[in-house]
Amino acid sequence: MDALRQDLIYAFRVLRKDRAYAAAVILTLAICLGANTAIFTVVRSVLLRPLPYPQPDRLVSSFDAFPGAGVERGGTSVPNYVDRRAMTDVFSAAALYQWWGFRVGEGTQAKSVSAMNVTPSFFQVLGARPASGRLFAEADGTPGRNKVAVLSYTFAARQPGGIDGIVGSRLRLNDEVHDIVGVLPESFSFLSPEVRVFVPLAFTPEELAESARHSQNHELVMRLAPGVTLARAQARVDAQNARVIERDALKEVLVNAGYSTKLLPLEADIVRNVRAALQMLWGGVVFVVLIAAVNIANLSLVRANGRMKELATRNAIGAASRRLAKQLIAEATLLMIVGASLGVGLGFAALDAIEWIGFTDLPRAHEIRFDGVVLAMTLVPALLLGVVVGAVPALQLARVNLSSVLQQEGRSGTSGRTAKYVRRSLVVAQVALAFVLLMGGGLLLASFQRLLGVNPGFVPEHTSSPVA
């Protein structure tokens, strides 16, 4: 530890004398790694982190498609839901949901809030538990008994009585009184944290009738039974659809429209419209980081060759090659740690500006947060770069003829053939990376613009009646 401390102190002294080089490396790293930190945080939160539900890999979404009629993605119907729920061999639970909106309160004091109409099985599918009270029971889905509500934690906390006292009270929704039966945990949200109220769906005989088979006014989410694959569930649904089409009065129309039901992992379905654009955006940032690494390597090689005589002299008067190598690596690593730390700070600050950037419109935007994986993805490459940048001059020192280096009065070690070859290779690599980045920049920018303009597929259309 004493040797490491001495190496770091010496590295600090050396770098303080060469402030221009140190500043160039630190600023280059900070800016590029800051961008990478911010974008990777978004990519990890939106695309890579599992959904915040128990066994999220078993959650699937289902929708009907009529490609022959120009409908690549529709909703689903109540009869379809009834059929899926009966498939207990492949689905352990199924639930319908429907974006909605309510006027909460009375008269001119009423305010619009986002809401969802859901079947009582909804919270069972997602594995939710109440923070207070209870969630929906099957009886709550019976017409005439469905005037109950479950509130989000945030919304309940703002109501008179708060979390502990609101259960059992009443709330006026669209001028109809609902009994509040439960409050969800603070950590629970589904698709959007803006959903404040959940009320149970209660189906009429008309909605349950076969004639409503293709009235696609709902969305369907299901949980696969243990051990069941998505392919097996899809085959089961396809077989059921074939029987439905065969007896349907609109058989010919359905066949011509290419009617089918698609099952997708819920996690993939949520981000389907933004996955490719986010991946391209992160790819562009990675290219920028690679160019920065080549720049730093080039600067470091030039500096190392300029110091070759100094290093050879120290080696000649007794400094061990291993100790010199450790000091060179310590110098480079110290720079990388400082640059990466500043980059993390810049990336973290960029996340505070996420609303201004426009990322709040992304699916799962409310889940975007910095974590240890993002920190590791920033610091580990920087440390590896430090080791490489420090090791190159150490290896070069081990290969050169010390006598010839010491005899080069007034000449720089940059004239060595190896050094020239390496520097030229770095320049070629830098130009190639820059060219690729330039060519992809236009596509990247266009993709990013499309990303911010995309309908994320979860923003509810408020259907509440206007406030009086």
In a domain, 169, yes or no: yes
What is the pLDDT at residue 463? 43
**Cβ atoms within 10 Å of 344's Cβ, excluding its own:** 22
Query: Do 109 and 227 share a domain, yes or no?
Result: yes
- Could you tell me the CA-to-CA distances from 220 to 63, 118, 363, 388 in Å, in that order? 7, 10, 18, 52
Q: Single out the residue in 207, 234, 258 at which a domain terminates.
A: 258
β 260-265/111-118 pair status:
unpaired
Residue 227, in any domain of the structure: yes
- Six token digits for residue 282: 């992160």
Contact between residue 88 and residue 82 where contact means Cβ atoms under 8 Å apart: no
Number of domains in the chain: 2
**Gap between the Cα atoms of 126 and 190, Å rounded:** 9
Domain that holds residue 251: 67-258
Residues 144 and 168 placed together within one structural domain of the fold: yes
In a domain, 308, yes or no: yes
Residue 177 has φ and ψ, to the nearest 5°, of: -80, 130
Residue 462, pLDDT score: 43
Same domain, 233 and 144: yes
Residues 192 and 312 placed together within one structural domain of the fold: no
Residues 225 and 138 in one domain: yes
Q: Do 128 and 180 belong to one domain?
A: yes
462 inside domain = no
Instruction: Give the pLDDT score at 356.
Output: 67
Show Cβ contacts of residue 206 under 8 Å, excluding neighbours closer than 6 positions: 212
* Whole-structure pTM value: 0.79
Structural domain ending residue among the three candidates 208, 227, 258: 258
CA 74, 75, 78, 81 dihedral sign is positive
Number of Cβ within 10 Å of residue 13's Cβ equals 10
Please tell me the distance from the alpha carbon of residue 202 to that of residue 147, in angstroms, as a whole number: 10
Is 409 among the domain residues? yes
List helix spans (H) across 56-214.
Answer: 78-86, 122-126, 153-157, 162-165, 205-208
Residues 104 and 170 occupy one common structural domain:
yes
Question: Do 404 and 335 sit in the same domain of this protein?
Answer: yes
Same domain for 140 and 39: no
CA distance 149 to 446: 43
Answer yes or no: do 332 and 183 share one domain: no
Question: Is residue 460 included in any domain, yes or no?
Answer: no
Based on the number of CB atoms within 10 Å of its own CB, is 228 exposed (0-12), middle (13-18) or buried (19 or more)? middle
Report the pLDDT value the prediction gives residue 398, as an integer from 0 to 100. Answer: 64
Chosen domain end from 225, 258, 291: 258
The answer to whether residues 291 and 405 belong to one domain is: yes
Q: Report yes or no: 124 and 138 within 8 Å, Cβ to Cβ.
A: no
What's the pLDDT score for residue 103? Answer: 87
Q: Determine, yes or no, domain membership for 21.
A: yes
Please list the pLDDT of the chain residue by residue as tens digits (468 residues). Answer: 666 666 667 667 777 777 888 888 888 889 889 888 988 999 999 999 999 999 999 999 999 999 999 999 999 999 999 999 999 999 999 999 999 888 888 777 788 899 999 999 999 999 999 999 999 999 999 998 999 999 999 999 988 878 888 999 998 898 889 999 999 999 999 998 899 999 999 999 999 999 898 888 899 999 999 999 999 999 999 999 999 999 988 889 999 999 999 999 999 999 998 888 888 888 888 888 888 888 888 777 777 766 666 666 666 665 666 766 777 788 888 888 899 999 999 988 888 776 666 667 788 888 888 889 999 988 998 888 888 887 777 776 666 555 555 555 445 444 455 555 655 665 556 556 555 555 555 555 555 556 555 555 544 444 443 333
Do 281 and 174 share a structural domain? no
In a domain, 316, yes or no: yes
